[in-house]
Structure 1
Amino acid sequence: MKQRSQWGTRAGFILAAVGSAVGLGNIWRFPYVAYENGGGAFFIPYLFALLTAGIPILIMEFTIGHKYRGSAPLSFFRMGGKRAEWMGWWGIFVSFVISTYYAVIIAWAMKYTVYSFNMAWGSDTQSFLFGDVLKLAETPGDVGGFVPGVLLPLILVWAIAFIILFAGVKRGIELANRIFIPTLVVVFLLVVIRAVTLDGALLGLDAFFKPDLSKLANPTVWVAAYGHIFFSLSIAFAIMITYSSYLPKKSDITNNAFITGFANSAFELLAGIGIFAALGFMATQANVAVADVASAGVGLAFVVFPQIINEMPGMNGIFGALFFLSLVLAGLTSLISISETYIAGIADKFNISRSKSVIFTVGLAAIISTLFATRGGLFFLDVADYFINQFGVAAIGLVEVVLIAWFFRKVDVFERHANALSDIQIRSWWKICLGFITPLVLGYMMFGLIRTNVMKLHEQPDGSLGNYEGYSDAFILYGGWSVALFALAMGIIFTLFKWKQNTIEETDYVETKEDSL
């Protein structure tokens, strides 16, 4: 029987899991989500969502991977046959799509790390990003030619990821996270320390932490908390199942889930402090309210932050380099984890070596990602990211929880498995969360998303109603909907391929009689 790869230490697994969870969204999305949903008051629904959805699903996915000892498709197949396997492939193809554009954002961050030293973006940071760096096409959907300034660092990103993934679980992924995660924490701490010493930092922190308790009566705030927790923890798209399949037999599943969940939240809090301290400085310099400069996503990282760096009284270049380096590190640890899902899945399904799977899958992802290094790349990235996250990750989470809790009825089996190994025992609260709270919240989220996108209820700046970001129907169809449906369709197609008999039986965890009840 072939021995499955394993983590060298428990700390190695936790660092890898935290590295997957801590990504670009922690830095450029969470602070703004918290700010616009009640500031300090948002931490109440945020913590509630973490304890009733985030950590419970982490425990479930850690248990699935540990118990069935395979990639997501193989673990689901061992759990429920082909009726369940397709969920694993669906998650893998969602991960595959995400990896293709995620790598490009890391490439941008690499460029800006270098730009920081002489503030090459000048005074008009928006024109520099869209004109000089991305050379953005005028019409969404136009591919245009390659942008060499983006393509070259993109190749470097994939080269780094390839080397790490080719080296394997212990000597590659674990070693990389042992270096990247501590470095990320130190680097971002330096960013935060510098940010909180800037003039006006307290103004920004007040805006971030000041609680608006009236927001707690708004259901959308609670949904926003659940939505963020869900996307932040890397759950429901095969990553945590894959990573936990490399755990030794005797592993404390519940403790690992709590440590991963709270470590991710701690970094998000740190990010909020650093980002809003810097935004408070910018607001003070411009003599405007924090609300006038607060933003999220690409605009925050590559337009607003360069403006902040321009205005700083000293250490501009170092501060900028540290900030963008933190984006690179956070992005790389997440890219590695995302890519590992399809490397493991293809190796298991077709019974090929890890090295062959890395060459084929990472090579294919790298080639496809060059689409986002074209002049139209940002538009393709924006629409693909929106649809694959909203109708990929969120949908998988809903289907996964409903099928496991209601259809396959595996919650009791997983509870016994986790409790047999863990210091913290999961009881009724875990089953209530998985069986009722999480499905209801995710169902409500999906209903809202379908209503908004299918019925075209996105409000445009001019007050009209139309597609997401006002994109044309054709671009939304082939750039958004087709991408989300591609992941689902490929999940079903790959389920049709037969497993090798020795792969199905190959497991170094023996199911007990009690587990099979």
Structure 2
Amino acid sequence: MSTATQNAPAPREQWQSQMGFILAAVGSAIGLGNIWRFPGVAYTNGGGAFLIPYLVALLTAGVVYLLFDWALGHRYRGSAPAIFRRVHPKFEPLGWFQVGLCFLIITYYAVIVAWSVRYVGYSVNRAWGDDPAAFFTQDFLRLLPSSEAHLTAEVVPAITWPLVVVWLFVSLIMALGVAGGLERLNKIFLPLLIVMFAGMVLRAITLPGAVTGLNSFFTPDWAALADPHVWIQAYAQIFFSLSVMFGIMITYSSYLPRKANLGPTGLVVAFSNSSFEILAGIGVFSTLGFMASKQGIAISELEGITGPILSFVTFPQVISMMPGGPLFGVLFFGSLALAGVTSLVSLIQVVTAGVQEKFGMSVRRSSLFVGIIAALTSTFLYSTTNGLNMLDVVDNYVNNVGIVGSAIVTVFLITFVVRRLPELHHHINEHSARPVGAWWRIFAGYITPIMLTVMLVFALVDLVQNGYGDYPQWFTLAFGWGGLAFILAASLLLSALPWRTAVDHFLPARLEGMEHRPYAHHQDADDNGLAEETR
């Protein structure tokens, strides 16, 4: 489409402060996976010894790709599709693929937040009774057995109503914009989350048997360090936990003002996220130690130490056993809800930003449009009696295939096709109080992608050979592979549609003193993303 037919973009929104951006980035990174995934992954992969590959992965993948995303977003200043189009016109489908991944995630992530909200109320009177497992799967979810998973229109009211409330709330936040909505939300919710979760942890470590749980969590199994699977799990945890390489951090950094401090900020966000994960491990395993001591068994004999079962079955069992359980439950499930909301809004922003810029919508219209479609999808797929089955399949394929595949393709295109890695490295150092060394380029473009490729190959081989769970084969084909195929097709279609805003008017700032200067003859870009004459 000729840029002459495109509308000039409205002035681009910005974070009001660097601290606002940091809180939003930390809020996005700290999510449900920090609380219910990290403790179990660490426990089953070497305990205290797992922290060694975890720290290595944090530095060589977490910080590296956080800065990679921030350099792309801050330099090219747009939604994911706009940014990849500006890198090269043929790369726009990659941006829409990342938008599609985020859309799939928000449709089920909101449901988990709704569960958490509902369980805050259930904690007060311990509504799950003597059998939290039966309550969660039968009374609350009314779940179909996984072997009988199929499409159903039987909506569960106990899930639908809190889900509607969640979508109304987050849609309102999105309609208020970056500064008025996202930044203000994280300034309130993130400190509240930390205070509530710290209170839960303090209560947990005072429980009888807590020391046993902490010993299980931190006791190192040094032999595990020789197992490649442990290292893959460490990279997987860091990669998914920090919200990198699937549009979130690219979009968030695009709202930073031109004068921003990228390098040190990346370290703050990465280590804040990991610190919260370790805090979560302390709280969870103190609680599990109490539960094991009450039952007179070893922690290794407990079931449900990760994922939804940990949160909605194991923790309710603990709450029923302990003195002051209702308060403990409110703190735990309140923390889950807060962590879920701060991550959910970051995922939605990726989608609304793409729609807003592609179709020339206002912030409010794009928020309403995306919110309605996502809310309807959430309701009719995940608040049904088949909801947890659907969620499990889609989540597995999105995370283990979609996100990792997107990251590998992104790095390959940037590093080897358009050769912009030196440009991004230069941009990071131009906007950092302390320069980032050549090690960043080596890990970003060469070493870490090898680990990601190994992760993807392991996932693909396992899925092809063994399938996933005991779901019917047609079910995983339709909603696992089918979901990825759908967003790939949608990405190509959306890329073929004309832009309603002047995406092609943008040209990145000139880079001086570089061997590879593809835009040396171009113009600089101001804070609104419009080209202005270089002076």
TM-score (norm 2): 0.92
Equivalent residues in 2 for 1:62-101 (5 A)? Answer: 62-82=70-90, 84-101=91-108
Q: Distance in 1 between matches of 2:434 and 2:495?
A: 36
Name the residue aligned to 2:144.
137
Name the residue aligned to 2:524.
none
Q: Distance in 2 between matches of 1:216 and 1:344?
A: 42
User: CA RMSD, aligned part only?
Assistant: 1.3
Query: What letter is aligned with 1:133?
Result: F
From 98, 102, 118, give the equivalent of 2:125. Answer: 118
From 419, 436, 440, give the equivalent of 2:446. Answer: 436
Q: Distance in 2 between matches of 1:498 and 1:403?
A: 23
Name the residue aligned to 1:460.
none
Q: Distance in 2 between matches of 1:488 and 1:259?
A: 34
Are 1:177 and 2:186 matched, yes or no? yes
CA contact (8 A) 1:35 1:208 kept: yes
Q: Distance in 2 between matches of 1:422 and 1:340?
A: 25
Name the residue aligned to 1:33.
41
Equivalent residues in 2 for 1:190-269 (5 A)? Answer: 190-269=199-278
CA contact (8 A) 1:195 1:278 kept: yes
Q: Distance in 1 between matches of 2:399 and 2:474?
A: 20
Equivalent residues in 2 for 1:371-382 (5 A)? Answer: 371-382=381-392
CA contact (8 A) 1:62 1:241 kept: yes
Q: Distance in 2 between matches of 1:341 and 1:335?
A: 10
Q: Distance in 1 between matches of 2:300 and 2:23?
A: 35
The one-character-per-residue Cα deviations of 1:159-215 (angstroms, maximum 9, x if unpaired) are: 110110000000000000000000000000000000000000000000000011100
The one-character-per-residue Cα deviations of 1:487-509 (angstroms, maximum 9, x if unpaired) are: 222122211123346232157x6
CA contact (8 A) 1:137 1:143 kept: no
From 349, 371, 378, give the equivalent of 2:358. Answer: 349
Are 1:308 and 2:306 matched, yes or no? no
Residues 501/358 of structure 1: CA separation in 2 closer, same or farther (3 Å cut): closer
Greater displacement, 418-427 / 89-98: 418-427
Q: Distance in 1 between matches of 2:237 and 2:20?
A: 26
Name the residue aligned to 1:16.
24
The one-character-per-residue Cα deviations of 1:408-440 (angstroms, maximum 9, x if unpaired) are: 211110111110110231121101101221110
Equivalent residues in 2 for 1:391-402 (5 A)? Answer: 391-402=401-412
Q: Distance in 1 between matches of 2:20 and 2:310?
A: 32
State the 1:100 CA deviation: 0.2
Query: What letter is aligned with 2:152?
Result: V
Q: Distance in 2 between matches of 1:224 and 1:424?
A: 31
From 149, 156, 166, give the equivalent of 2:158. Answer: 149
State the 1:121 CA deviation: 0.4
Equivalent residues in 2 for 1:288-367 (5 A)? Answer: 288-293=297-302, 295-312=305-322, 314-367=323-376
State the 1:144 CA deviation: 4.6
Q: Distance in 1 between matches of 2:107 and 2:501?
A: 32
Query: SS at the partner of 2:246?
Result: coil
Residues 363/501 of structure 1: CA separation in 2 closer, same or farther (3 Å cut): closer
Residues 146/74 of structure 1: CA separation in 2 closer, same or farther (3 Å cut): same
State the 1:134 CA deviation: 0.6
Q: Distance in 1 between matches of 2:434 and 2:112?
A: 38
Q: Distance in 1 between matches of 2:266 and 2:497?
A: 33
Name the residue aligned to 2:474.
474
Name the residue aligned to 1:459.
none
Q: Distance in 1 between matches of 2:509 and 2:416?
A: 25
Are 1:485 and 2:485 matched, yes or no? yes
Q: Distance in 2 between matches of 1:109 and 1:399?
A: 35
TM-score (norm 1): 0.95
The alignment-based identity, stated in percent, is 44
State the 1:104 CA deviation: 0.4
State the 1:511 CA deviation: 3.6
State the 1:468 CA deviation: 0.9
Query: What letter is aligned with 1:230?
Result: F
Name the residue aligned to 2:459.
449
Q: Distance in 2 between matches of 1:474 and 1:299?
A: 25
Query: SS at the partner of 1:146?
Result: coil
CA contact (8 A) 1:351 1:503 kept: no
Query: What letter is aligned with 2:196?
Result: V
Name the residue aligned to 1:463.
none
Query: SS at the partner of 1:91?
Result: helix
Q: Distance in 1 between matches of 2:427 and 2:26?
A: 23
Q: Distance in 2 between matches of 1:501 and 1:27?
A: 40
Q: Distance in 2 between matches of 1:410 and 1:498?
A: 26
State the 1:305 CA deviation: 0.3
Runs of 4+ in 1 over 3 A off after TM superposition: 509-515
State the 1:380 CA deviation: 0.7
State the 1:512 CA deviation: 4.0
Name the residue aligned to 1:464.
none
State the 1:33 CA deviation: 0.3
Query: SS at the partner of 2:174?
Result: helix
CA contact (8 A) 2:86 2:506 kept: no
Name the residue aligned to 1:461.
none
Q: Give the paired residue count.
A: 504
